[in-house]
Structure formats: structure tokens, C-alpha cells
Amino acid sequence: MIEVKLHDIGEGMSEGEILHYFVKIGDSVKMDQPLVEVQTDKVAAELSAPKAGVVKEILAEPGQTVKVGTTLVVLESDTENSTIMTKTAPITVEKETTGKAMTFRRVLAAPYTRKIARENQIDIEEVVGSGINGRVIDEDLYALLEGTKKPKQPEKQAKPTPELRSSSYFTEKPKKERIIPYNGRRKQIAVKMAESVYTIPHVTHFEEADLTALMSWRKACKETGLSFSLGAYFIKALVISLKEHPIFNSMLDEKQDVIRLLDFYNIGLATNAPDGLIVPVIKNVDQKSIMEIDQEMKELTKRAQTNELKGEDLRGGTFTVSNVGPLGSTGATPIINAPQTALLAIHKTKRRPIVTKDDQIAIGEVMTMSMSFDHRIADGAQAVAFTNRWVELLEDPKRLVLELV
């Protein structure tokens, strides 16, 4: 017998939610054929058959959250099956092992949406999604049910937790309670953030940069057909600063009592996705041009929005950037993406009066930023020197060009 277990398909994952099975008991499967789709805190991933065989047992139900190492499917290999068939010749399993191969459509949908579909006996593979890139959303399911029956609400929503109802904290009870499931990616984000805050002594350093010259240079480049995002430029300049201040591209190894200075530069992009925050990683940024970084940033962001990232896209980050400026943020104290040493948050750029080098008043494009760092590894003076160098490259684009020559 072959046991197909939930293994670690994402960096540091401990559990996953069963979305749905592609097979049922008695089905014959080929090697590498998808058996089950699992939602981790970061990605939806398929587990495939390690060998050809017949499905003998399915040990976890769709919607169930299981720990890494849990057996989900038990297969009887072709070798075992042929041995049994030889001993019991009169028995045949021809019924569903022949005919057309089964085909499946990968459906984009959140775990909560899938739960609504299951509890209302809706085949989600038959639903045409109205969300981004065909994503099935709650409203699509409610539209199908409208006029026939009311959607069956999840048990947790129908029966609020006793702790909340019996608590004397609230002076009055809500007339109609609404809840959000605390599981999947949301729960894993909470676990990781809490671990980071409890373990790392955070210090946040604030700085600002005058992007007037950079904006002008970017506009000139665009007129010649070279268009790139400011984010790509920020990351390219960041790598130069990291090379000169390697303490911020490091990781603390407490078991060996050493700080490991890394000689590769993999920049994580904190991305706001429908199912929660996720951090895809651009690998070996120091070996890529601004245009290549720009293209990869856009591709990773698109795949994050459609829940199509793979485990490899999320591993190996050495430093994380969170560009929240487009959302309107003016400042924050970001939580470090452990085990990294620092996280840089880029905030809103505003037009405001500035004093030029020749003591004149002018209107400039001023961007604010905040960098949280691990005070066990680095000190405030190092953080200031690091951001000063980064700001220098942002405020004078010619300096970056010279650094790249």
C-alpha cells in the first residue's frame, strides 16, 4: 500500500485545508496524476500520485484542516493489484477503470467559498466565476441558489462560540452576528506575525526621500520607449545598499551563535491578495536589470492575485519590501518577515514645498519610508547609514547608473 501524505509544500507550513479530491475510491490513477487539492497558508497546491495504482482509501474530508504528515489517500500499487487479481481470478474491477480519462477544471475560489458550495450541494467546477480571472466568489453561489432555497450557513456562523455569548465584556449583543472564518492563510499569517513579534526586538526607523529628479528621469525614459515602475528602481537601488551594508541581508543562527551574511539577494514583495497577505520572492535581483525586475514584479503580483503562486515562488527571501504607498499609507511600523533581519515599507509620495541645495523653495515629490530591523543583529546607526545610502541613490538616478557600469 502507498500512503499519500500532506507534506511541506510551502516554507514552514504546518497544516492545510482539503479543498477537494480529483478521485474517488476504486479509481485507477497514473503516476503523477493529481489526487487532491490542498489550501495552505500561501498557495493552493495539488498532491499527485507517486506511483500508478488504485485508490483504496480516502482518509480526510473536504473542508477538513489536517497537519503535515497526515495520510490523505491510500493507493494499492499496480504490482499489488496484479498479485491480488492473480490469486482471486474471478473478481474483476473493470467497472470504472476503463473508458474515457477523467478531466478536471481548476477552479479559482477561496476556501470559504468552497465551503458554501459543499454545504449547498453545488458542484463548484460547473460554476462560471464573475471574479478576477474567472474566480468563483460567494455572490456567484448565492445567485445560483436565489429563488430555490436559502444558502445553508456554515455551522460556525449559525452557532456562535459560547465564549463570545457568555462574555461580560459586551454590554449588548449584536442583533445579527456576522463572522469571518479564522483559518487557512489568515490564521497562518497570525501565527507567523505573532512569532516574529514575540521573538524579535523590533526597532523602526523613519526616513524620507525627494523623488523629484527620479520622477523627471523616469518620464524622460518613458518618452524614449523605456517604461518601468518606480518599484523596480527602488529594488535595484536597494540591492546596492544591501551589498554595502550586508548586515541587513543576513540571518541570525542562534544554534551556532553566528550571524550569517548572505551573498545572494532575493527580495520578497509583500503583496495584498484576496485571501490575505502573501510574499512572493524575486530571486537573484543583483543579476537582473531594472526592466527584468519590473517584468517579474508584475508577473508575481498577478499570480498572487489569482492564487496561482507555487511553493518555489515563496521560498528563499533575504529581505522584504512592502510598497503600501499606492494604497495611501503615510507611515507604519512593519513586522519583520522572520527569519530575515529587516523589512522596508515604502509609503505615499506627496507634492510639498522643499528647500533646494541652493536654499530656494520649490515643489518636490517627497516619499516617506519606514524600516523595521532586528535589534539583536543591527543597531540604529547602521539602519540610518543603510537608508541614507538608499535615499542617495533614489534622489540622484545618475548615481545608480554609475554604480551599474
| Range 141-148, long-range pairs (CB < 8 A, 24+ positions) | 141/113, 141/116, 141/117, 145/120
* Nearest CA-CA partner of 237 in 110, 41, 85, 389: 389
Residue 375 catalytic?
A: yes
CB 205 within 8 A of CB 380: yes
Rounded CA separation 402/334 (Å): 32
Rounded CA separation 20/38 (Å): 7
Rounded CA separation 283/315 (Å): 9
Rounded CA separation 237/401 (Å): 10
Q: How far apart are the first and last CA of the chain?
A: 60
Count of CB atoms situated within 10 Å of the CB of 326: 13
Count of CB atoms situated within 10 Å of the CB of 27: 17
* Interhelix angle 230-244/212-223, nearest 10 degrees: 120
**Of residues 7, 202, 245, 375, which has the active-site annotation?**
375
Mapped to the 3 state alphabet, what secondary structure does 222-272 carry? HHCCCCCCHHHHHHHHHHHHHHHCHHHCEEEECCCCEEEECCCCCEEECEE
| Opening angle at CA 221, ends 215 and 224, nearest 5 | 150
- Using CB atoms within 10 A of its CB, is residue 385 exposed (0-12), middle (13-18) or buried (19+)? middle
Q: Give the C-alpha distances (Å, rounded to integers) separating 278 from 57, 258, 270, 329.
A: 34, 29, 6, 18
User: Catalytic amino acids?
Assistant: 375
